[in-house]
Structure 1
Amino acid sequence: MFNQVLKQLWNARRSNAWIWAVLLVVSVLLWFALDIIYNYEAAARKPLGYDVDGLYNIELRYNWTTNADSTQDEDNRAIYNLIKDYPLVDKICYYRGDEPFSDNRMYEGFTPHSDSTFTVSTFIRLVSPEFFDVYNVTPIYGSIDSEHWSQGEYPVPVVMTRELADSVFGDASQAVGKTCYNPYYLMANISTNYKVVAVVADQKPFGYSRYEKMIYMPNQPEALPYSNIVVSVKPENRATFAEKFYADMRQPLERGVFYLLGAEPLSARKEAYDLSHGT
């Protein structure tokens, strides 16, 4: 019976050519779809390289009806200290530049002093020294000295992910203590010199992403108004933190040109961004 069906199909192969063409196209599309799903899900099962559980982004907005004055720097520092001293806040940091779980990306290029013709592009974050503790980013090589994490240091201390250190220096395990520079700044007659103080695990900007090169540099205190403020909250305080923080701090944080919009859990931001970019 089966052989008879095959024989009939073969005899009518010219008139059934469109069926075989459709089957071929469908097979290719299914293979392509399954390959995408497999790679997305395989990427989602790899760690981010940092931890966002219990972290909240403190959202401040600019009040356009208020004119900035000479006390703005004092107001900015006061706002940061008020958040830091809030009883339910465990740790706090601020950063700017490349932002995980968003389309806000910042990248630059870096060149090792050993080969001035070789430039590696990488995403960049400028962070306060507390960032690594808040996000639970620990070095696999070298160490991060919070006391000397400053743009006033020279060479400027930087932290690289393993993939970036491998690309720039050839071997991440030998990168600590080596120096590099930004050739684009050099073309503008700006002297730059960076020294690797630590190498950390590879990182992803969101759950379904591949690992991407990343460099961390010191953030300037005066850049606080343009930075993201992130706090960590202990597990027992997370259930109602966002609502309680807004109720308690809405008035105290209305200082200078800023006002409080809310506290967004990064786990919720990650989930929303992953849903829009994953499977």
Structure 2
Amino acid sequence: MFKHLFKLIWNKKKQNFLLMAEMLVSFLVLFAVFTLMVYYYSNYKKPMGIEYQNVWVINYGNAYQTKNIDSLNLYYETLRKTIKSLPQVQEISFVSGNIPFSQQVNESALTFNGKHVNHLNNFTVEDGYKEVLQAQLLEGRWFNKQDAVAKNKSVVIDAALKEATFGNEPAAGKLLGNDNDKDRLKVVGVIQTIKRNGDYVNPGPGLYFRTDTGSFRWLSKILIRVAPGTDATFEGKLYKTMANYMKNSNVEIEHLTNKLKDSNYFALVPMIILGIVSAFLVINVALGLFGVLWYNINKRRGEIGLRRAIGATGNSVSSQLVSESMILATLSLIIGVFFAVQFPLLNVFDLSAGIYIGGMLLSVLFVYLLVLICSLYPGKQAAAIYPAVALHEE
């Protein structure tokens, strides 16, 4: 049976080659789309790591310039107490600019025990940062005042950095850095990785530093947790409080919930573009496949009529046409999978092999389903051809 089908396909190799090329291109585009979808879904399933609801961001320009550290700290400590005295404010923390769901980044690299960690996100935060965002502590503790006089600089790492450096071993209390590094960092705690780039993007490893006496020179953001149900009236009051205290500064208040929506929209743009392109391509392939099969039926009416005349049933004729289409799809997919499997082997885009495999399987199933749907109706039409009518036309 298969030998006969391959012979029929080979006899029309020029026509079938174009059809296979369409299926191959469709598979490659679908592979990109489904791989991106699997990547987004795998990131979406991971916990956010924070409670971002009711968290506001105050952006301000650092207008107070002085060389005296004590005066600088006093200025911002007074601002902290002023904001925290407001009844709707539950917690406050000055932070570096790369807050969750912002486009600002501060990256570096790290080598530990021969392991290289690239795209390491560095954050400068205060002791109240964990309470403001309600970050989930997995191991050890958060920063406290004792860290200001510690021999080694205290840091908190997230679960992603712990896995990249210490693996399954406990990290709290250990030193991070090379053995010959005099400025090694002491890990005091591990928190759940925060999806700082939104729901759909891998945040990468994170390293948290505690603010020091000179940090207020360059910090320009404040995170505050407000009471649930706090409305725009309080937002206006908070703005006036900031504007009156920092008269020469540009003040802006944002909500993390809105910033998360913007981050998600920005992340979904490539998915939307690929989806539109693949939808047009799939429609064209489906129409082309349907048209080719319909054309083949009209060209092969004599062959089909002869097969029916010598005893072939309508179902067997229909199955033959469907099988030919599925074999063409299989030949195209073998070539497509060969190219697709190079992505996990070469570790392209630094994605896990499971994401590529998931995208590959979904693409294969979709192409088979598309070919099956497009070939069923022409196959049914072929099965309805009466042998006497077909032979009479010949």
Question: 2: CA distance between counterparts of 1:237 and 1:86?
Answer: 12
**Displacement of 1:31:** 2.9
Q: Give matches, 1:32-43, under 5 Å.
A: 32-43=32-43
Q: RCO higher in 1 or 2 (8 Å CA, sep ≥ 6)?
A: 1
Amino acid in structure 2 at the alignment position of 1:106: N
**2:192 counterpart of 1:197:** no
Q: Give matches, 1:1-279, under 5 Å.
A: 11-62=11-62, 68-69=65-66, 73=72, 74-96=74-96, 98-112=98-112, 115=113, 117-121=114-118, 122-150=120-148, 152-172=149-169, 174-181=170-177, 191-206=182-197, 207-227=199-219, 228-238=221-231, 240-246=233-239, 248-255=240-247, 257-260=248-251, 262-278=252-268, 279=271
Inter-CA distance 225–274: structure 2 relative to 1 (3 Å threshold): farther
Larger helix percent? 2
**Displacement of 1:225:** 4.4
Q: SS at the partner of 2:130? A: helix
Q: SS at the partner of 1:61? A: coil
Amino acid in structure 2 at the alignment position of 1:139: L
Larger strand percent? 1
**Displacement of 1:182:** 7.1
Question: 2: CA distance between counterparts of 1:70 and 1:44?
Answer: 46
Name the residue aligned to 2:348. Answer: none
TM superposition score normalised by structure 1: 0.79
**Displacement of 1:266:** 1.0
Q: Report the structure number with the largest CA radius of gyration.
A: 2
Is the 8 Å Cα contact of residues 110 and 182 (structure 1) preserved in structure 2? no
Q: SS at the partner of 1:203? A: coil
Question: 1: CA distance between counterparts of 2:154 and 2:160?
Answer: 18
Amino acid in structure 2 at the alignment position of 1:76: Y
Is the 8 Å Cα contact of residues 62 and 218 (structure 2) preserved in structure 1? no
Q: What is the root-mean-square deviation of aligned Cα atoms in Å?
A: 3.1
Identical residues among aligned pairs (%)? 21
Is the 8 Å Cα contact of residues 109 and 182 (structure 1) preserved in structure 2? no
Gaps of 5+ in 1: 1-5
Question: 2: CA distance between counterparts of 1:39 and 1:19?
Answer: 30
**Displacement of 1:211:** 4.6
Is the 8 Å Cα contact of residues 143 and 210 (structure 2) preserved in structure 1? no
**Displacement of 1:49:** 1.5
Is the 8 Å Cα contact of residues 129 and 149 (structure 1) preserved in structure 2? no
Question: 2: CA distance between counterparts of 1:243 and 1:41?
Answer: 38
**Displacement of 1:252:** 2.1
**Displacement of 1:229:** 0.8
Amino acid in structure 2 at the alignment position of 1:128: E
Question: 2: CA distance between counterparts of 1:88 and 1:24?
Answer: 59
Is the 8 Å Cα contact of residues 57 and 230 (structure 1) preserved in structure 2? yes
Inter-CA distance 138–20: structure 2 relative to 1 (3 Å threshold): closer
Question: 1: CA distance between counterparts of 2:250 and 2:84?
Answer: 16
Inter-CA distance 53–210: structure 2 relative to 1 (3 Å threshold): same
Gaps of 5+ in 2: 1-5, 272-394
Question: 2: CA distance between counterparts of 1:110 and 1:234?
Answer: 39
**Displacement of 1:161:** 1.4
Amino acid in structure 2 at the alignment position of 1:175: A
Question: 1: CA distance between counterparts of 2:115 and 2:34?
Answer: 38
Amino acid in structure 2 at the alignment position of 1:271: K
